[in-house]
Amino acid sequence: MAVAITVCLGSRKLCVAQVFVQRGVRRLLSAQVRETFLRFFERSGGHLRLPSSSVRPRGDPSLLFVNAGMNQFKPIFLGTVDPRSEMAQYRRVVNSQKCVRAGGKHNDLVDVGRDVYHHTFFEMLGNWSFGDYFKEEACSMAWELLTQVYGIPRDRLYVTYFGGDLSVGLEADDNCREIWLSLGVPAGHLLPFGMKENFWEMGETGPCGPCTEIHFDHVGGRNASALVNQDCPDVVEVWNLVFMQYNRERNGSLLPLPQHHVDTGMGLERLLTVLEGKRSNYDTDLFSPILTSIQQGSGAPPYRGLLGKTDTGHLDMAYRVVADHVRTLAVCIADGVYPGMSGSELVLRRILRRAVRFATEVLQAPPGFLANLVPTVAEILGPAYPELKQNTDRIMDIINENETAFLSSLQHGRRIIDRTLQQAPHAREFPVDVAWSLHRNLGFPLDLISLMLEEKSVGLNSAALDQLAEEEAQQQAENRQGLDADKGLLLDVHSLAELQRRTVPTTDDSPKYAYTLGADGRYVFSPCQATILMLYKDQSLQSEVPEGQRCGVILDQTNFYTEEGGQCHDKGYFIQTGQQDIMFPVEMVQKSGGYVVHEVVTLAPLHVGDQVQLFIDEAQRLACMVKHTATHLLNFALRRVLGEGTEQQGSHVAATRLRFDCIVKGPLRPQQLREVECVIQEAIAKDEEVYTAEVPLRLASNIQGLRMVDEIYPDPVRVVSVGVPVSSLLEPVSAAGTLTSVELCCGTHLLRTGAIQDLLITSQRQLVKEVARFVAITGEEAKQARETGQSLAAEVETISLQLKMGSSCIPDAHRLSKEVGVLTDAVDNTPIPQWLRKELQGTLKSLQRSANTAIRKLESKQVAQVAQSLLEKHGNKTLVVDTVSAQSASMLVKMANQLCEKSPGTSVMLLSLQDSGKVFCACQVAKTSTETLSAADWALAVCAEMGGNASGSNMVAKGTGSTTDLDTVLSSASTFAQTKL
């Protein structure tokens, strides 16, 4: 049934939404507020409603997570969007974007729980204009939505705008100020601020511009202008409207953008506190059902919303941390980000462990508690983000497995802390390196380490720990920059706009698909005739470039493949017409905004209008074609063997190998790997035709069995099908696509599968939970790896027979053990079939255990014999110093120990001369004699005489040395002991 909710805002009462009750649960104002926002811009502003993108950044290594609504639209802002893609047609759009701010530049993780408004996951309501409307329309629509649709009192709202910064040559945004005044915002509620507050930048470089923010005063009935932007919890920012009108250049300067854009962002959580008349995000219906579930699942006292010192035992902080973190975990895992050991996966691992720490240590919740909150999260957010409900079971399984692992690590970490403190019982400060190891390697939240040490009254140098954390963050940032370091001559936003202004046509790269099979079965790649349309150097367009310069060459057409779709770019060269003796090697090929840029060093001057002939490296291209078609077959074969649960997560195709990442349920068994290879080999043996066709994206998406990944596809899109014509797949009743490989792909492929010859999976490992990485080779390399695998299998069989026959002496047993070790290294590191590697690794582990058992038995027998011989030789003397034959220092220790067991009152030192000239030394002192004779001192004195060293305890010690006069050493050893006994 429907129930009207009335919210009191100041002296006004406003019916803000219809809230539904189902099964006794209030259904949900947040959903109404979200939908109202989207519908307003759809209907009133003519915006296209788009779904949220995944929180895993698409093709942006600079980000750990999607942390703002604009992330998915970066190609538009930078001008690099493919002109054939749907995104290139966007003019005004609206959506609710899932965002995670934890790690990287925007990191709210440490603040979560300490206050009532920071979150690691939040929803960003946003509307965008791409070269369409600008400031006046953006401000007008925002004001209308807030004051008329949502009914927020105008006297509670304060607006900030950019007040200018003459040091960088920027004047105040008076145009924005005048717009707000015309909309009825009082001058006293309109406030200027500087670069820090009201100038938004995408990064160190790129589009940027002034912004205007709308703030809300929770108290009301006063002039709160002095509290705006002062970190006052009563006056909070609600909405930020960014006007992208500049580009931050590499030299730090600002240049006007060729097109103006609008990018707005309003956090749903904060908006909801305003509309519900709350003071805490956690009091809204986005969180209150989760808090209720936490209380029911943990049995903790109810949540009271306390902060700081009033929050005794950090109980309410724990409620907030767990509620926030379980939302983040659910959203990230549903989008394919799993707890792991690097990048975003490492951050998520820390979030999970922080949640487990508060759940178990503060809320005293039972194991499995955290995962049991996921259905509540899915119930709240599922209607907006259906992937949460679709993946609830998988999310719970992953959280449970990681929680179990952390609880085990927690016990291990406690032992490390206890042992460290025992080694320095009077230390007042815990070693920072050990604390950092607990954090970095065992995943301990830093606040947990501090708490555990505080309980033991031991301090921790927080500044030094923060320094290590800062160094790690800096290293990660440098690593991400390293990924961008070799991007070559990318066209900047100004040059792209200038190309369009000059109506320079985009590059026709369809000749990259122009190859045929000759009568002899060889691929024929024809050269491509082209004209230079523009040259690019030093971030500017050039009509000519002299000799000896690095530059980008833009042609009217090209047969070179650019790096995209997981396939690396072509190599090759071009020559100028009439100058066939000068080759221009093409070092890199990239595409921006539909323009293909060929990066070369000019061995002769180049001019716009020059005619050139392009030649690709045919061997490299063909190798990539083989690997790319093989990758498609691998994708299909994994689905055939493992079922529909497999889902591609990424791939990379190079001339030497292919890499394929996908979701799987744990490591594949050897038999499953063999089955995957068999499916691929069957397709290779059939020498099936590979069909391609450009199809409208809408039609292609309806093909049964189609494999797609989370990418922006052009329209029309290229369909690649093995063995079945694309036209047949487009028939409404056709299920042929479920029986073969069908993918959307812009890559270059074989014309028939037979050229693959063979495919062999050489590696399969888990990247993170449920995501496996496969590495494979093809052709002659694959055949050679199979032969190598058979040879290694034969060697394993031979040594297995030798071990079954047994060894009569210790040297033979050690030799066999060493051979097993050498074979193990070869099996681990040599390219062979992964299924065979797994089988051989299992066999070799068993053989190694057998070899070690045989050695132990022979050694035990020899030790017993030597001990008995010494006993017979020396009787029950209180001191025995002698030489024996022993293959290792550990054997020598065992001999001394056995003799002491047989003769408890005897102190023993044994020396063993090795073929290398080294002397092993071992000694054991009778329990009754340790007060006067220390085994460690005894061994050290004897080994020092031999130029060596020793260590041990009062009772047992060992060492090594070297001497040519063993009799003298024996005499000295006896004398040393006799003076002490």
Tell me, what's the pLDDT at 4? Answer: 36
DSSP one-letter string for 497-539: HHHHHTTPPPPB-GGGG-EEE-TTS-EEE--EEEEEEEEEETT
Asked if the model's pLDDT at residue 603 lies above 50, the reply is yes
List, for residues 415-463, the tens digit of each pLDDT value.
Answer: 888 888 888 777 788 888 888 888 877 777 777 787 778 767 888 888 8
List, for residues 535-592, the tens digit of each pLDDT value.
Answer: 999 989 999 999 999 999 999 999 999 988 889 999 999 999 888 889 999 999 999 9
Confidence of residue 478 (pLDDT cuts 50, 70, 90): low
Share of the chain above pLDDT 90, in %: 72
For the segment 966-975, the average pLDDT, to the nearest whole number, is 95
**314 DSSP 8-state letter:** G
- Which neighbouring-strand residues pair with 908? 880, 924
Burial class (CB within 10 angstroms; exposed 0-12, middle 13-18, buried 19+) of 797: exposed
CB atoms within 10 A of CB 256: 11
Third-level CATH fold of 875-979? Diaminopimelate Epimerase; Chain A, domain 1 (3.10.310)
Asked if the model's pLDDT at residue 486 lies above 70, the reply is no
Tell me, what's the pLDDT at 3? Answer: 34
Domain locations in the chain? 30-283, 287-423, 493-616, 622-782, 875-979
Asked if the model's pLDDT at residue 372 lies above 90, the reply is yes
Which CATH number applies to 622-782? Answer: 3.30.980.10
For the segment 710-715, the average pLDDT, to the nearest whole number, is 82
314 annotated ligand binder:
no
Tell me, what's the pLDDT at 782? Answer: 95
Closest CA to 378 of 319, 443, 293: 293
CA distances from 871 to 773, 886, 899, 938 (A): 60, 17, 7, 21
- Which neighbouring-strand residues pair with 208? 201, 246
**303 DSSP 8-state letter:** P
Helix (H, G, I), strand (E, B) or coil at 781: helix
Q: Identify which has the larger pLDDT, 1 or 598.
A: 598
Asked if the model's pLDDT at residue 484 lies above 60, the reply is no
Euclidean distance between CA atoms 766 and 663, whole angstroms: 10
Tell me, what's the pLDDT at 361? Answer: 87
For the segment 181-194, the average pLDDT, to the nearest whole number, is 97
Cβ contact 290:327 at 8 Å: yes
Residue 277 token pair: 């008349």
What is the tally of helices (H) and strands (E) in the chain?
Answer: 26, 38
List, for residues 128-147, the tens digit of each pLDDT value.
Answer: 999 999 999 999 999 999 99
Tell me, what's the pLDDT at 832? Answer: 96
Place of tokens 């983000």: 385
Euclidean distance between CA atoms 752 and 518, whole angstroms: 13
Tell me, what's the pLDDT at 428? Answer: 82
Tell me, what's the pLDDT at 467? Answer: 83
Write down the CATH superfamily of domain 30-283.
Bira Bifunctional Protein; Domain 2 (3.30.930.10)
Euclidean distance between CA atoms 487 and 506, whole angstroms: 20
628 annotated ligand binder:
yes
Tell me, what's the pLDDT at 488? Answer: 61
Euclidean distance between CA atoms 674 and 681, whole angstroms: 10
Tell me, what's the pLDDT at 20? Answer: 26
Asked if the model's pLDDT at residue 711 lies above 70, the reply is yes
DSSP one-letter string for 805-859: H--SSHHHHHHHHHHHHHHHHHHHHS---HHHHHHHHHHHHHHHHHHHHHHHHHH
Tell me, what's the pLDDT at 203? Answer: 78
Instruction: Tell how far CA 135 is from the center of its chain.
Output: 38
Residue 932: half-sphere exposure toward Cβ, Cα within 13 Å: 10
Residue 932 token pair: 């006067």
List, for residues 251-307, the tens digit of each pLDDT value.
Answer: 889 999 989 999 999 999 999 999 999 999 999 999 999 999 999 999 999 999 999
Tell me, what's the pLDDT at 12? Answer: 34
Tell me, what's the pLDDT at 14? Answer: 37
Tell me, what's the pLDDT at 726? Answer: 95
CB atoms within 10 A of CB 629: 31
Euclidean distance between CA atoms 370 and 391, whole angstroms: 16
Tell me, what's the pLDDT at 21? Answer: 28
Tell me, what's the pLDDT at 11? Answer: 33
For the segment 73-78, the average pLDDT, to the nearest whole number, is 90
Helix (H, G, I), strand (E, B) or coil at 428: coil
Share of the chain above pLDDT 70, in %: 95
CA distances from 342 to 119, 209, 483, 649 (A): 22, 33, 15, 16
Residue 262 token pair: 């609008």
List, for residues 111-123, the tens digit of each pLDDT value.
Answer: 898 899 889 999 9
List, for residues 830-885, the tens digit of each pLDDT value.
Answer: 999 999 999 999 999 999 999 999 988 998 999 999 999 999 999 889 999 999 99
Tell me, what's the pLDDT at 23? Answer: 30
Tell me, what's the pLDDT at 570? Answer: 95
Tell me, what's the pLDDT at 903? Answer: 93
Euclidean distance between CA atoms 305 and 518, whole angstroms: 76
Would you give the end-to-end CA distance of the chain in angstroms? 95
Euclidean distance between CA atoms 837 and 774, whole angstroms: 14
List, for residues 921-944, the tens digit of each pLDDT value.
Answer: 999 999 999 999 999 999 999 999
412 annotated ligand binder:
no
For the segment 598-626, the average pLDDT, to the nearest whole number, is 96
Cβ contact 712:85 at 8 Å: yes
Tell me, what's the pLDDT at 2? Answer: 35
Cβ contact 210:199 at 8 Å: yes
For the segment 522-541, the average pLDDT, to the nearest whole number, is 95
- Which neighbouring-strand residues pair with 805? none
List, for residues 316-366, the tens digit of each pLDDT value.
Answer: 999 999 999 999 999 999 998 999 878 899 899 989 999 998 999 899 999
Residue 550 token pair: 């690095």
List, for residues 2-59, the tens digit of each pLDDT value.
Answer: 333 333 333 333 334 333 223 333 457 999 999 999 999 999 889 999 999 999 988 7
749 annotated ligand binder:
yes
Euclidean distance between CA atoms 48 and 857, whole angstroms: 77
For the segment 654-666, the average pLDDT, to the nearest whole number, is 90
Cβ contact 69:113 at 8 Å: no
Q: Identify which has the larger pLDDT, 375 or 405.
A: 375
Q: What architecture is domain 493-616?
A: Beta Barrel (2.40)
Which parts of 266-342 fold into alpha helices (H)? 268-276, 288-298, 315-334
